[in-house]
Structure 1
């Protein structure tokens, strides 16, 4: 009798192992998320996956008004799956140990460890189909090591910026093809939005609180984060903006294909940079200054010693002989500057590294004075600056806090202006980035087009 019972138990256990997919893995067909109902009067313009099969997006437009919206479709958990998700989340937080060494891909590490723990506990948690477990693991990865509810947006390569202006307000994104558009993602409570922002700030290795409500930090992946916490500085509650970092930066060929540069412009800048000319890129907010600067910097000779200086890391160069310097905020309280490392400090320090080319991400203070001093000693230099045209740039440079002497202005050999323009193509009006003009500076008031 005991032997018969043992055989029955063994048979049941084998069936359970097949049901729960423990042991040999198998392919599971996961249906994509069902499309959300479209807003009234809107039609689908474009649909594409963000993270197959869990998240998709539909770009919709109202033909009458021309308004676009970004509709995120994500696989949601049903009540039973949500209950198991909450329990498995507690188990994962308790049992996953932090890696002893720095790892290149935290998501991959988490996925491997989470699967081991799920296989260990899934029988005690109750039977669920394999599709449900994949959904649960997706949400666990999204919420624990990802960016939470905005994680699908971070996966979209077409998005440049993500911003939330407060509670019960839709999240907006800046799409490469459709500019600023509203999404269907809304944080409905102060607690949900505050927790989301605290998580992002902690991912950046920073602290945010009512005492220190403003944070400017760099997220994993070099994405730029700006936060205003709670209602200390904004009446609408917590607000944040993320400027996404492009891992595969635009090359000069990409910008030629996009129409930002002409072939003649690219050849001209290539020749100038090979001969260590200094270049300044002008433009307004989100005009593409850093993108243009990065593409031009890739034309510098491969063996040149390059030092880049930025407040947050945005430049990404292929050169081996490249040093990236990043400014650091103060550790002190109140008006104390303890531990602060400014752009001015970094520009001065960089001169001791004997650079061939010194690149400042953006000049707007005393660092401009040191940069022009470096140009006067024969170093090559590049930078960006907020200005609509060369005249306004020269006025800013020659006044405080930059305070550049007019005699030094010609040390910046070439100035190009980048703007975002609207053009009608294929019957649709879209935004494009274009180099509007290129000037060679012969003298303080003598500019050659």
Structure 2
């Protein structure tokens, strides 16, 4: 049994890769299968997965190890593409004899492997079983000391890992992996070099379909020709979107994996990355403490969910949070937190039996008496229920796909959301976030994510900017003295605007101090914020002086 197929030693150029007909198809079309002398020509099937070799004239820009000494990545500049970057996967190569033993051992393991115990590491178990079965079938004596580690690497890669995309999935610099079909280079989104092609090409439909099915099973979902579209989450919380065979994608099966950070960005991380600065973070902190509604707006890949997650960590520990999402991406360090996710229908036809949508979950969340309702993204009728909740005094946070605040408002007030224009100001403040070109590179990166503007919504056509990003020098300009929301906070607590601005400065200094001390872990930041609430309440209690 071959899960992903044999890796080729050399590969043809991309322009030479063409679909190869099976022998049965050739017979049907009348192709000759015999040479001039009458001898039968053996049909040689091309390798299912191709790793193109790096051209001799390519310039190596960066090289780093993934799983030394077996795999590494090379970022190269290609002269034939005008100097554009490409991502090259380099894995240790098997000799012809090593590959034959590997294929045989892989087939035996898939047939006879014993299941591991409950506390046994799967990779260790694979290695032990491989050695046991190699001895049982007389393969061990054919494997040299140098060959064994290489064979074990490929066994673990194909059985426990994800085969051809194993190296990419273990590269921490990759944000996004995109397989667009057969005979097309796999593309990745690299943290330093953005969208670049790789030397990995799927050349066999069966191998690609097998990988998609494996990913689907790992996500505990279903995909087939009857249901060829999938939106799911892998065990490591990576987001998976896939299409199966040629049902809806003419070039063959496709899939995209959006990588999930094991440790979400904290508010200090966002300050360190300059997505926001200390003053803007302190501003949001004050508003969120007072149950103001925040919407993070931006396009795909702008980092909206990461910013939403970091801002949500500023919610008071005593407040109750309910999150509503299609795919669970929000990850909070908060004990009083109810997490709800939607469920697809398991019925056929027009009857959506068992479907639980965002609308149902947002409606049900009101019965949990939350202080804050966080919806991962609003795009449909759930927006109407969310705004009804905001009108009754609940705090709210969400993200919205739009290129500007004006277009976000138009989306809200149009089908299928249909939010009444009078309810739009219930979004108290919006953060417009984009992926931008930086005036100068930071840690080798020429682009980054920035909150371009922070605007308060006074009415459906009355927006006031209180902070903006200056692209010339990569700094933020704030005008919080004109903030309507800070005036509301001041009135609520019976203090002056100047006292509220002073508190904002105190919190900005507190966050600046956390950054200077290197306190950036979400758990640590949450503890420090809790201690701030206890030691520095706002407004400060006034001490009455006793009169004689």
Q: Give the SS at the match of 2:121.
A: helix
Structure 2 match to 1:218: 233
- Aligned pair partner of 2:121 in 103, 106, 109: 109
Within a 5 Å distance, the mapping from 1:50-449 to structure 2 comes to 50-62=66-78, 65-98=82-115, 109-123=121-135, 124-127=138-141, 128-425=143-440, 430-449=446-465
For 1:343 and 1:89, the matched residues in 2 are separated by: 44
The separation in 1 between residues aligned to 2:212 and 2:410, in whole angstroms, is 39
Q: Distance in 1 between matches of 2:437 and 2:57?
A: 25
In the aligned structure 2, how far is the partner of 1:70 from the partner of 1:126? Answer: 36
Q: Partner of 1:26 in structure 2?
A: none
Distance 2:243 2:181 in 1: 10
> 1:290 is paired with a residue of what secondary structure?
helix
Unmatched segments (≥5 aa) in structure 2: 1-50, 466-548
Q: TM-score, normalising length from structure 1?
A: 0.86
Measured in 2, the distance between the counterparts of 1:171 and 1:262 equals: 36
* 8 Å contact from structure 1 (residues 36, 73) kept in 2: no
Q: CA RMSD in A?
A: 2.2
Rounded Cα–Cα distance in structure 2 between residues aligned with 1:125 and 1:154: 31
Q: Give the 3 Å change call, closer, same or farther, for CA 373–225 of structure 1 in structure 2.
A: same
Mark the runs of 5 or more structure 1 residues left unpaired by the alignment.
Answer: 1-34
The separation in 2 between residues aligned to 1:96 and 1:412, in whole angstroms, is 57
Of 55, 80, 86 in structure 2, the residue corresponding to residue 39 of structure 1 is 55
Write the distance in 1 (CA, Å) between the matches of 2:278 and 2:447.
21
> Residue 75 of structure 2: SS of its match in structure 1?
strand
Say how many residue pairs are matched: 410
Tell me which stretches of 4 or more aligned residues in structure 1 moved more than 6 Å: none
| 1:414 Cα deviation after fit | 0.9
Query: How do residues 19-34 of structure 1 correspond to structure 2 at under 5 angstroms?
Result: none
CA distance change for structure 1 residues 41 and 232 in 2, over 3 Å: closer, same or farther? same
* 1:333, distance to aligned residue in structure 2 (A): 1.3
Structure 1 CA distance for aligned equivalents of residues 441 and 257 of structure 2? 31
Q: TM-score, normalised by structure 2?
A: 0.71
Contact 1:303-1:319 at 8 Å conserved across structures:
no
3-state secondary structure, aligned to 2:346: coil
Q: Is the 8 A contact 2:116 2:122 kept in 1?
A: no
- The verdict on how the C-alpha distance between 1:109 and 1:95 changes in structure 2, with shifts beyond 3 A counting, is farther
